[in-house]
Amino acid sequence: MEDNAISENERLQIEQIRELESEELEVEEVDDDESSDDDDYRGSAGASASGEPYDTSLVAMHSYLGGVEDTRNRLAFLDGGAVLTLPLFYLEGVVLFPEATLPLRVIFPNFIAGVERAMRQADAPYTIGVVRVYRDSDYGRIKFSTTGTTAEIRQYRRLEDGSVNVVTRGQQRFRLRRRFIDAGGALCGEVHIIQEDLPLRTPREAVGKLAPLRNSQASSISQATPLNGSQLNRHNCEEGNDSDAMSEGSFEGELSSAERRLHQSALISSYSTDVRDESMSSDDEKFDRHSEFQPERSQLEEYISSMHSKYNIHSADGRPGVSKRAPSHVQLYNKVEWGKYSVGQLRDAPRAFWPGWVYRMYDSYSLARRVADRWKQIVKAPSMDGFVMKPDLLSFHIASKIPVSESTRQELLEIDGTSYRLRREIELLESFDKLRCKTCQTLIARRSDMLVMSSDGPLGAYANPHGFVHEVMTVMKTNGIAVTGRPVKEFSWFPRYAWSIAECTMCGAQMGWYFSATQKKLRPQAFWGIRSSQVVDDTN
């Protein structure tokens, strides 16, 4: 019943779209210098108090393809590591990610044969493989990416002229092992399904705390703030060794800058006063109060011991290799008497060598929150909060919608590991600012010019009547682009808007399209759709 209700609702929306598009085309000129209107609808798909806000859900339906029927096929995910043969779609300028929607207008015989094969194959029914192809910048030769994505055919319609309209959804990444043409003329490939990693959490063993003995004499120390550099020097002074702690011939003086930073980080972390893990059991607390600490050599102790040993090494001629006097903080560490002082004086030293913040740098859930917050800051809509507890899905969702060049998005697709992909996306969201023409490097738009015109986000894939698929990012204003030709209503990707071709004024390359409203009250009255394959990122 639910599926039928959804289908009925979609049919009603399509009928409304067709009625709107049958009205007389009315285009109102918009002055690009009127920034007040721009501020009204930036980031929220044109919501304005003086006009009718655009319904962004209409775009995600891809109604320009006509009536497509649901295949009602939902494939369980293939096992990671599986090797199978799939019909392939080689698409220029398109990078498909898991969970992303890809519409296709299939008119070429090889691709039609591929769709027909996918509809009847037994091992992975209704499934095709999508691979990005691109031209070598030096020699202009066609190249094939080795990492692609499987796509499940969700909607299908065969037209009278033999062409096929389908709507697919990305499923899983794969490595392309080899490609060939089968007896029926379909382009096929042997693919290896990638086994995705589980989202990483900071291991408890890495930042878990050693249970300290409670000692009233050490209570003032245990409540102290973490030692910074000046406080560490104060400890050195109390031991009377600050004068030569960093002298030219001292222990730390023999270390490289990287080793010295690592050493200081390890020492400071040993005095850390982080709050104890609240999940500690009552048994742990009982141990905390009544047990005597039995010292074991942790990785931190091993490190400091090795540094101390380095201090005692003598050269071949009998002279000491470094200063005979150990730095104060090494002496301070060695003077700790476990019977006299509680471990509370070192306040919960990490069990692992690295401080906790190092491990959190690769905690997928922490990174997911950062990405979602950054996306909301920059893109404004739609919100990604629902994906925060699913970092793997969030990493793919952001990658499929982030308005950057296709080459950068292919880079994201090829990254193995959720945390690494999220870290790269954070870097892109923080540094990406400008879009330039791929041919002549002319500045086209800025990140602040982005406009969300689809419920899927500021970037989406759309098929044209000639069988080509374009990934388009929507912006509200551009520089150095001219409109050519009259507005056309037919086969518009954005219902209630007409399209015109947009070209770079410097080199004449087609940058995308200019979309103008067919009704005066609709907001925004106009916007631009820029092809991701025709831009390069500028992170300066």
Residue the block writes with tokens 């697919």: 168
Could you list the beta-strand ranges (E) of 182-289. 187-193
Q: How far apart are CA 64 and CA 495, in angstroms?
A: 8
Beta carbons of 512 and 499 less than 8 angstroms apart? no
Cβ(530)–Cβ(473) below 8 Å: yes
- What spatial distance separates the first Cα and last Cα of the chain, rounded to whole Å? 53
Q: Residue 485: is its pLDDT beyond 80?
A: yes
Residues 6+ apart with CB under 8 A from 112: 106, 162, 163, 164
Three-state SS at 436 = strand
d(C-alpha 294, C-alpha 1), whole Å: 66
Using pLDDT thresholds of 50, 70 and 90, give the confidence band for residue 211.
very low
Q: ω before 382 within 30° of 0 (cis)?
A: yes
pLDDT at 142 over 60: yes
Query: pTM, whole model, 2 decimals?
Result: 0.66
The three-class DSSP label of residue 458 is coil
Q: Is the pLDDT of residue 500 over 80?
A: yes
Tokens of 117: 């094969």
Q: Is residue 266 a contact partner of residue 300, using CB atoms and an 8 Å limit?
A: yes
pLDDT digits (tens, 9 = 90+) for 297-347: 545 455 555 555 554 444 444 444 444 444 444 444 444 444 444 444 444
Instruction: Specify the range with the lowest mean pLDDT, choosing from 196-205, 304-313, 371-380.
Output: 304-313
Q: Is the pLDDT of residue 386 over 70?
A: yes
pLDDT in tens, 232-275: 444 444 444 433 333 333 444 555 665 555 555 544 444 443 33
143 pLDDT more than 50: yes
Cβ–Cβ contacts within 10 Å for residue 119, how many? 18
Evaluate whether 94 touches 49 at the Cβ level (below 8 Å). no
403 vs 114, higher pLDDT: 114
- CA triplet 392, 396, 397: central angle to 5 degrees? 110
- Write out pLDDT tens, residues 149-196: 999 999 999 999 999 999 999 999 999 999 999 999 999 999 999 999
User: What is the identity of the amino acid at 527?
Assistant: F
Q: Which residue has the higher pLDDT, 74 or 525?
A: 525
User: Tokens 């339906």 label which residue?
Assistant: 61
What pLDDT does 253 receive? 54
pLDDT at 37 over 80: no
What is the maximum alpha-carbon separation in the chain?
98
Contact 99, 131 (CB under 8 A): no
Encode 112-156 in three state secondary structure. Answer: HHHHHHHHHCCCCCCEEEEEEEEECCCCCCEEECCEEEEEEEEEE
Residue 194 contacts residue 172 (beta carbons within 8 Å): yes
Cβ–Cβ under 8 Å, residues 266 and 258? no
Calculate mean pLDDT across residues 9-28: 47
